[in-house]
């Protein structure tokens, strides 16, 4: 099964992927995670990508396309995958087609700007496990009770200066993918503004339908 999770940052793509990959027997591939690893490792790719990421801009298509192709060629992808954060532009989607990847379903997470900003500002990542939490009072999932603040990391691009730009970039460069995949008849919209269980349920239904 080959799936794409499409939608603005903060809509829950990563959280839902982490929840359902095991059930589906597929792997989650987040180009954002792969790029952050490259930055951390100080590789040539990481050096090229860092400035774009810090500013909330997209990393140039060719760099991300090469990275993704390399990742999906690995043996653990044979049973399928969820692409979380790829493609983000029409040329990236076309590159996926050209690579012969037949996508079964595109789940489109729909969420309004106000909620996106709220979610992103509360998002924290467990430094050790990489698990995504939300520390807003209404946020889900909450970190386990007693987790010290130092164990959790706030991404630089989840700070207010970068959030605004990421939204503009999403609307301009990524949203056209909705029409692209609608045209192929494989897009399913889900309401990402509800609670976590509701999003998991709707995402699973969209994948099975
Ligand atoms: P994410 O973790 O998906 O929010 O990605 C974090 C950042 O990595 C983005 O703001 C971009 O700078 C970069 N990035 C991740 N995926 C892509 C992609 N498919 N195309 C271009 N840039 C990407």
| Total-model pTM | 0.94
The stretches of the chain forming alpha helices (DSSP H) are 13-24, 31-41, 44-55, 61-72, 90-98, 113-122, 160-169, 176-183, 196-208
Angle of helix 160-169 versus helix 44-55 axis, rounded to 10? 100
Q: Which pLDDT does position 160 carry in this prediction?
A: 86
Structure tokens at 171: 């609307």
Q: In this prediction, what percent of the chain has a pLDDT beyond 70?
A: 100
Pocket lining: 35 vs ligand 1, CB cutoff 6 Å: yes
Q: Of 157, 128, 160, 155, nearest to 144 (Cα)?
A: 128
Considering Cα of 152, then 125, then 60, then 167, what sign does the dihedral take? negative
Which pLDDT belongs to residue 29? 98
pLDDT tens for each residue of 154-207: 998 998 888 999 999 999 999 999 999 999 999 999 999 999 999 999 999 999
* pLDDT score recorded for residue 209: 86
pLDDT at residue 46, rounded to an integer: 97
Domain annotation for the chain: domains and CATH numbers:
2-26+79-208 (3.40.50.300)
Pairing of strands 152-153, 105-110: unpaired
Report the separation in Å between the CA atom of 84 and the middle of ligand 1, taken as the mean of its atom positions: 10
Q: Which of the four pLDDT bands, split at 50, 70 and 90, describes residue 2?
A: very high
Token pair recorded at residue 35: 């790029």
- At residue 161, the pLDDT reads 83
Structure tokens belonging to residue 193: 């503004």
Active site members:
13, 88, 123, 155, 166
* pLDDT grade for 22, boundaries at 50, 70 and 90: confident
Q: How far apart are CA 208 and CA 105, in angstroms?
A: 9
Quote the mean pLDDT of the chain. Answer: 96
Q: State whether the beta carbon of 38 lies less than 6 angstroms from ligand 1.
A: no
pLDDT score of 89 more than 90: yes
Residue 116: predicted pLDDT: 95
Residue 122: pLDDT band (50, 70, 90) is: very high
Three-state secondary-structure class, residue 102: coil
Query: In this structure, which residue's CA is closest to atom 2 in ligand 1?
Result: 32
Is any ligand 1 atom within 6 A of the Cβ of residue 53?
yes
Indicate whether 71 pLDDT > 90: yes
CA of 87 to the centre of ligand 1 (A): 9
CA of 62 to the centre of ligand 1 (A): 13
């Amino acid at each position: 099964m080959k799936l794409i999770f499409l939608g603005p940052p903060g809509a829950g793509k990563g959280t839902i992927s982490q929840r359902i990959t095991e059930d589906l027997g597929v792997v989650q591939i987040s180009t954002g995670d792969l790029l952050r690893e490259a930055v951390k490792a100080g590789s040539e790719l990481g050096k090229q990508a860092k400035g774009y990421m810090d500013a909330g801009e997209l990393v140039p298509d060719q760099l991300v396309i090469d990275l993704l192709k390399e990742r999906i060629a690995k043996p653990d992808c044979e049973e399928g995958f969820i692409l979380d954060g790829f493609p983000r532009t029409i040329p990236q989607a076309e590159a996926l087609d050209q690579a012969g990847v037949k996508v079964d379903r595109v789940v489109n997470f729909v969420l309004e700007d106000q909620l996106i900003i709220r979610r992103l500002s509360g998002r924290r990542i467990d430094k050790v496990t990489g698990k995504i939490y939300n520390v807003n009072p209404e946020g889900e999932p909450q970190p386990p009770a007693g987790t010290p603040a130092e164990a959790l990391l706030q991404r630089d691009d989840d700070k207010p200066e970068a959030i605004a730009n990421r939204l503009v970039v999403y609307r301009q460069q990524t949203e056209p993918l909705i029409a692209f995949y609608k045209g192929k008849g494989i897009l399913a919209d889900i309401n990402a503004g509800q609670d976590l269980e509701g999003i998991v349920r709707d995402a699973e239904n969209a994948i099975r339908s």
